[in-house]
């Protein structure tokens, strides 16, 4: 589904991501791990078009996408969430999701001045789709609440719901379990599995919580200082001496 | 479907009522009140436009006077100098000929074209830097008008026909309000708001933020241009000095005091802030009360105006209405 | 050749005054992230203070210009701190636009209060009494340099040097830099943030007052609205250099001075248009000003 070849990003003299190759199969669940500052988020930013790679190529469903803008990535079917939740803070929960439906809204700005019949029909469709998303993520009771009034876990769910409303083929989750307690993150794992099956979405995620990654992902890519050091299934990664040295070795004590 | 037609029929009906009021009642008011009411309406149109750029899209612009100037001069050009066929100058009536609305639209379109030009820097600049670049734009327009011999240069364009009346001003206020509220309650409107809320998140949700930022500038400039056209045809004279950056600031103040992103709040603030200095002028007539004569001093009016601004910001930092509409605020209190 | 040098000289003199005023904008922006729109009006108050002090001391004290300058600076420092305490402190936590509108309100308030109390008509500044003009250098082929130009430039440069010393070498200067870097962290480190902000306003307003006196000295008049355009131009200078950056303000001030003197020589009627065009063009190339830090957002 997505092929990444020799993805590299430099910031001035610093090489944040160095020559990442990755092949994401359709329907798979890939984890991206590595110590702090390993370049995971930079990698994600490139995969979602937020920043352009310095070198390398990203191919999505057979098309070269690197060099396109973030909104084009989303319109092609790659949605993402953020490490530090970025909701549209002063808007309602429903409006947050509706904005994600915007590029599929099916009418022009000109029509929106008049609120004619076509507008009304399309707008009803958007509301319906957005409410459906909220229902799936159990947020429909708070549809008209201002999004910052939600509890932390709900805000995380809303961010995923919002991303799913863009009808993505591939979902990038940047530390979805950050700040969650074990119960919440177990629920989140179930939710991610459910989303993947229900929408047939490919999922790539960054996570620090090893239990979370190992329990959920089929394939894992490990980055250290921007360089990929291992790729494989959870068992292989756990047995890989390089990974243990760079990452798990320190983690085992804690 | 039926609902939609009914709404627009109601709008047309309301405009007709305004026309009747204009013909049969408005003239009965004295000149001072007439002027005040018309000026308030023109400020409403200008502020509604700026609210789109500043309030809804979050692109802080200090160049609104520049757009108003372009619209004002362009409209005056079209009503005065353009070779319209003769019948258009008298149809349907010499006091409100068809050329006026056409010229207003053309003036608005030219201002919008300038808005497109200014919208492009907004793609690179943020916050204070954008504010200062747009302020620069406004000043550039003003300096060019000072050197624009064809329309009076620094002396200004005089003898502009006084076409702006209650009917035109308030019909345009009404239509602008409806169109803007419609836009804001639509998917493109939500896209514009998402840029203000979090540009990056909007982009990642598939919103082409560049397009909506430029669109917000362009639409804001259009309304500013129309307001400028109305202003010129009310005052019958336009000078470049009228459009200095103090005017931009006055419109910004209306938007901020009303509440950025609150259409009804902005309308209310336009009335209050237009009326306040003028009403204070009124008190100079009642000079028999000791101390009150001081209130009529021209600088005293501006002092009270500025104090109002400061106290409003201290005690209601998000403006009168925040980013809510008045009816939403009332609704919440009621429930 | 002579005209080129003349234009450069004028630019340098004007630019050093703009730089002085721009410093006030940039320092306040540094610690409060506020565009102090009233800065130009503090300049005007400084010029008026200079007008009254200068008129009364001109014949009675030695070095009347220095006395005038220092006293106006002290008066404006007090005014600046008062403005901050009364108007800006209550809106410190509010969105930045709220603070900006407050500053605009203060600006109008100062202008019109001055117009009401002191009268709106311009008055002659006692430039001749404070500093009789003479030509210091009249070499054929080179532009004439007057003592007034030298004094204006010298004062501006000396004050900038003093400021630089304060910011880099004193404890208060370090505290100022700490606050502008991260207000909350500075507070946790035991820095009295309120005091630092007051100090910044005092220094910035004093510099504005000096700028006002120098302006009045050059143009020979004071009026309640005289601060608007110098203030605006100095603000642009600060933005050009990268607002928040002290060397940036100095550089931006000089750049504004040169642009203005060049433009007034070649296309005087379009002077301000050229000025603002340069501003817009530079911002398009360097969106955060020449020496400004980039605005890269962390995701």
Chain B environment of A48 (Cβ under 8 Å): 204
Looking at chain A, the domain(s) classified CATH 3.40.50.300 span 1-23+43-78, 88-170
Q: Residue A8 forms beta bridges with which residues?
A: A55
Is A89 in contact with A138 (CB distance < 8 Å)?
A: no
Grouping H, G, I as helix, E, B as strand and the rest as coil, residue A95 is helix
The number of domains in chain B is 1
Which of A71, A95, A108 faces B206 most closely, judged by CB atoms?
A: A71
Chain A environment of B186 (Cβ under 8 Å): 107, 109, 111-112, 115, 119, 123
Question: What is the pLDDT, as a whole number, of residue A251?
Answer: 47
Chain B: which residues have CB within 8 Å of chain A?
A: 1, 4, 7-8, 179, 182-183, 185-191, 193-194, 197-198, 200-209, 215, 323
Distance, in angstroms, between C87 CA and closest chain B CA? 7
Distance, in angstroms, between C95 CA and closest chain A CA? 14
Distance, in angstroms, between C245 CA and closest chain A CA? 22
Which of B128, B143, B308 faces C270 most closely, judged by CB atoms?
A: B143
Model confidence at A253, pLDDT cuts 50, 70, 90, reads very low
CA distance A182 to B174: 56
What ipTM was predicted for this assembly? Answer: 0.90
CATH of domain A88-170: 3.40.50.300
β-strand pairing of A219-224 with A29-33: parallel
pLDDT in tens, A104-158: 888 888 889 988 888 999 999 999 999 999 999 999 999 999 999 999 989 999 9
Cα→Cα distances C115→A36, B57, B289, C54, C107, Å? 61, 38, 23, 20, 12
Chain C environment of A48 (Cβ under 8 Å): none
Interface of B with C in 183-202 (CB under 8 A): 200
Is B178 in contact with B14 (CB distance < 8 Å)?
A: no
Nearby residues of C14 by Cβ (< 8 Å), 6 or more positions away = C256, C257, C260, C261
Cα→Cα distances A232→A221, A222, A244, B325, Å? 7, 9, 14, 55
Is B263 in contact with B273 (CB distance < 8 Å)?
A: no
Chains that touch C (3 or more CB pairs under 8 A): A, B
Hey, are the CB atoms on B191 and A102 less than 8 Å from each other? yes
Cα→Cα distances B327→A90, B239, B258, B316, B330, Å? 18, 39, 14, 18, 5
Q: Which two tokens stand for residue B105?
A: 């639209």
Hey, are the CB atoms on A126 and B187 less than 8 Å from each other? yes
Q: Tell whether C299 lies on the interface with A, counting CB pairs under 8 A.
A: yes
Question: Closest Cα to residue B243, out of B123, B87, B73, B108?
Answer: B73
Cα→Cα distances B35→B49, B108, B165, B243, C17, Å? 21, 22, 10, 19, 43
Count how many pairs of residues, chain B against chain C, have C-beta atoms within 8 Å.
Answer: 128
Chain C environment of B135 (Cβ under 8 Å): 232, 276
Distance, in angstroms, between C299 CA and closest chain A CA? 7
Percent of chain C scoring above 70 in pLDDT: 96
Model confidence at A247, pLDDT cuts 50, 70, 90, reads low
The residue-averaged pLDDT of C217-228 equals 92
In a domain, residue B18? The reply is yes
Is C290 in contact with C240 (CB distance < 8 Å)?
A: yes
Distance, in angstroms, between B134 CA and closest chain C CA? 8
Average pLDDT, chain A: 90
Taken as a whole, chain B contains a residue count of 335
Q: Tell whether C285 lies on the interface with A, counting CB pairs under 8 A.
A: no
CA distance A161 to A139: 9
Indicate which of C86, C102, C113 best probes the interface with B, i.e. most B CBs within 10 Å of its own CB. C102
Percent of chain B scoring above 90 in pLDDT: 57
Q: Which two tokens stand for residue C185?
A: 């962290």
Is A87 in contact with B201 (CB distance < 8 Å)?
A: yes
Chains that touch B (3 or more CB pairs under 8 A): A, C
In a domain, residue B211? The reply is yes
Q: Tell whether C139 lies on the interface with B, counting CB pairs under 8 A.
A: no
How buried is B288 (Cβ within 10 angstroms: 0-12 exposed, 13-18 middle, 19+ buried)? Answer: exposed
How buried is B37 (Cβ within 10 angstroms: 0-12 exposed, 13-18 middle, 19+ buried)? Answer: middle
Hey, are the CB atoms on B205 and A114 less than 8 Å from each other? no
Distance, in angstroms, between A81 CA and closest chain C CA? 10
Distance, in angstroms, between A77 CA and closest chain B CA? 9
CA distance C155 to C152: 5
Question: What is the pLDDT, as a whole number, of residue C282?
Answer: 85
Which of B125, B135, B302 faces C108 most closely, judged by CB atoms?
A: B302
Instruction: Please name the residue that has the structure tokens 């340099």.
Output: C145
Which of C102, C107, C111 faces B313 most closely, judged by CB atoms?
A: C102
Hey, are the CB atoms on B143 and C299 less than 8 Å from each other? no
DSSP 8-state secondary structure symbol assigned to residue A25: P
Q: Which of the four CATH numbers 3.40.30.10, 3.40.1190.20, 1.20.120.1200, 3.40.50.300 does domain A1-23+43-78 have?
A: 3.40.50.300
In a domain, residue B251? The reply is no
pLDDT along chain B (335 residues), means of 10: 81 92 87 91 97 93 94 96 87 87 97 90 77 88 92 90 94 96 95 95 94 94 97 95 89 90 94 83 55 63 85 87 83 50
Q: Which residue has the higher pLDDT, C132 or C248?
A: C248
| pLDDT reading at C295 higher than 60 | no
Chain C environment of A52 (Cβ under 8 Å): none
β-strand pairing of C221-222 with A29-33: unpaired
Distance, in angstroms, between A23 CA and closest chain B CA? 22
pLDDT in tens, C83-108: 999 999 999 888 777 888 899 899 99
Element (H, E) at C221: strand C221-222
Average pLDDT, chain C: 89
C2-285 CATH fold? ABC transporter involved in vitamin B12 uptake, BtuC (1.10.3470)
β-strand pairing of A29-33 with A202-206: parallel
- State the virtual CA torsion across C176, C180, C181, C182 in degrees, nearest 10: 100
Q: Residue A62 forms beta bridges with which residues?
A: none
Taken as a whole, chain A contains a residue count of 254
Chain A environment of C294 (Cβ under 8 Å): none
Number of Cβ atoms within 10 Å of the Cβ of B316? 15
Hey, are the CB atoms on A87 and B179 less than 8 Å from each other? no
Model confidence at A254, pLDDT cuts 50, 70, 90, reads very low
Hey, are the CB atoms on A69 and B7 less than 8 Å from each other? no
Chain C environment of A82 (Cβ under 8 Å): 299
Nearby residues of B25 by Cβ (< 8 Å), 6 or more positions away = none
CB hemisphere CA count around A46 (13 angstroms): 31
Domain that holds residue B28: 2-244
């Amino acid at each position: 589904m997505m092929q990444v070849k020799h993805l590299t990003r430099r910031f001035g003299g610093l090489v944040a991501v160095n020559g990442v190759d990755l092949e994401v199969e359709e329907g798979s669940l890939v984890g991206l791990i590595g110590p702090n500052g390993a370049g995971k988020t930079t990698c994600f930013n490139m995969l979602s078009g937020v920043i352009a790679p310095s070198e390398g190529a990203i191919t999505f469903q057979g098309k070269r996408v690197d060099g396109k803008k973030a909104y084009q990535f989303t319109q092609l079917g790659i949605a993402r969430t953020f490490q530090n939740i970025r909701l549209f803070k002063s808007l309602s929960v429903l409006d947050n999701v509706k904005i994600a439906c915007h590029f599929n809204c099916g009418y022009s700005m000109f029509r929106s001045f008049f609120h004619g019949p076509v507008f009304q029909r399309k707008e009803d469709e958007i509301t319906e789709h957005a409410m459906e998303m909220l229902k799936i993520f159990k947020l429909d009771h708070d549809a008209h609440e201002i999004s910052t009034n939600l509890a932390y876990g709900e805000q995380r769910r809303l961010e995923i719901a919002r991303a799913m409303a863009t009808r993505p083929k591939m979902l990038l989750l940047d530390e979805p379990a950050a700040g969650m307690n074990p119960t919440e993150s177990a629920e989140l794992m179930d939710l991610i599995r459910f989303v993947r099956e229900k929408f047939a979405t490919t999922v790539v995620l960054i996570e620090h919580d090893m239990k979370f990654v190992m329990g959920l992902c089929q394939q894992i890519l490990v980055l250290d200082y921007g360089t990929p050091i291992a790729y494989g299934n959870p068992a292989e990664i756990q047995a890989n001496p390089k990974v243990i040295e760079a990452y798990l070795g320190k983690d085992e004590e804690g | 479907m039926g609902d939609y037609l009914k709404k627009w029929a109601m709008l047309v009906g309301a405009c007709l009522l305004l026309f009747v009021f204009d013909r049969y009642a408005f003239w009965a008011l004295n000149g001072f009140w007439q002027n005040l009411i018309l000026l308030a309406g023109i400020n409403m149109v200008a502020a509604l436009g700026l609210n789109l750029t500043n309030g809804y899209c979050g692109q802080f612009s200090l160049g609104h006077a520049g757009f108003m100037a372009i619209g004002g001069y362009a409209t005056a050009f079209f009503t005065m100098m353009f070779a319209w066929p003769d019948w258009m100058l008298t149809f349907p009536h010499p006091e409100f000929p068809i050329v006026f609305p056409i010229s207003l639209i053309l003036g608005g379109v030219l201002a919008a074209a300038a808005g497109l030009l200014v919208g492009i820097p907004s793609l690179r600049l943020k916050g204070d830097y954008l504010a200062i670049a747009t302020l620069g734009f406004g000043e550039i327009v003003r300096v060019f008008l000072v050197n624009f011999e064809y329309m009076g240069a620094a002396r200004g364009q005089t003898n502009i026909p006084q076409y702006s009346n209650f009917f035109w001003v308030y019909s345009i206020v009404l239509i602008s309000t409806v169109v803007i509220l419609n836009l804001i309650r639509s998917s493109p409107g939500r896209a514009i708001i998402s840029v203000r809320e979090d540009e990056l998140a909007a982009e990642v949700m598939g919103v082409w933020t560049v397009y909506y930022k430029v669109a917000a500038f362009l639409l804001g400039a259009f309304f500013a241009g129309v307001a400028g056209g109305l202003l010129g045809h009310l005052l019958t004279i336009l000078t470049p000095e009228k459009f200095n950056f103090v005017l931009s600031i006055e419109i910004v103040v209306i938007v901020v005091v009303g509440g950025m992103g609150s259409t009804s709040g902005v309308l209310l603030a336009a009335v209050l802030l237009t009326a306040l200095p003028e009403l204070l002028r009124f008190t100079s007539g009642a000079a028999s009360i000791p101390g009150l004569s001081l209130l009529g001093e021209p600088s005293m009016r501006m002092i009270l105006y500025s104090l109002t601004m400061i106290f409003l910001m201290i005690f209601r930092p998000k403006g009168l209405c925040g980013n809510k509409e008045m009816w939403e605020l009332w609704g919440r209190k009621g429930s | 050749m002579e005209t080129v040098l003349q234009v450069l000289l004028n630019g340098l003199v004007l630019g050093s005054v703009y730089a002085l005023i721009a410093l006030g904008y940039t320092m306040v922006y540094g610690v409060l992230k506020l565009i102090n729109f009233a800065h130009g009006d503090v300049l005007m108050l400084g010029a008026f203070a200079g007008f009254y002090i200068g008129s009364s001391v001109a014949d009675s004290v030695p070095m009347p210009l220095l006395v005038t300058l220092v006293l106006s600076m002290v008066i404006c420092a007090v005014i600046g701190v008062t403005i901050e305490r009364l108007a800006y402190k209550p809106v410190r936590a509010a969105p930045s636009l709220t603070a900006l509108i407050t500053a605009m309100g203060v600006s109008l308030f100062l202008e019109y209060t001055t117009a009401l109390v002191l009268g709106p008509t311009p008055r002659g500044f006692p430039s001749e009494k404070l500093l009789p003009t003479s030509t210091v250098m009249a070499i054929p082929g080179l532009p004439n340099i007057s003592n007034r130009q030298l004094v204006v430039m010298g004062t501006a440069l000396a004050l900038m040097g003093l400021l630089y010393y304060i910011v880099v070498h004193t404890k208060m200067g370090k505290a100022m830099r700490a606050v502008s870097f991260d207000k909350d962290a500075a507070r946790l480190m035991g820095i009295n943030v309120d005091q630092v902000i007051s100090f910044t306003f005092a220094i910035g307003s004093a510099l504005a007052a000096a700028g006002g006196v120098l302006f009045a000295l050059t143009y020979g008049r004071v009026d309640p609205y005289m601060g608007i355009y110098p203030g605006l131009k100095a603000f642009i200078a600060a933005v050009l250099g990268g607002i928040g950056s002290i060397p940036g303000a100095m550089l931006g001030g000089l750049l504004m001075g040169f642009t203005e003197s060049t433009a007034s020589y070649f296309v005087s009627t379009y002077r301000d248009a050229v000025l603002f065009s340069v501003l817009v063009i530079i911002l398009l190339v360097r969106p955060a000003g020449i020496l400004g830090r980039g605005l890269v957002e962390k995701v």
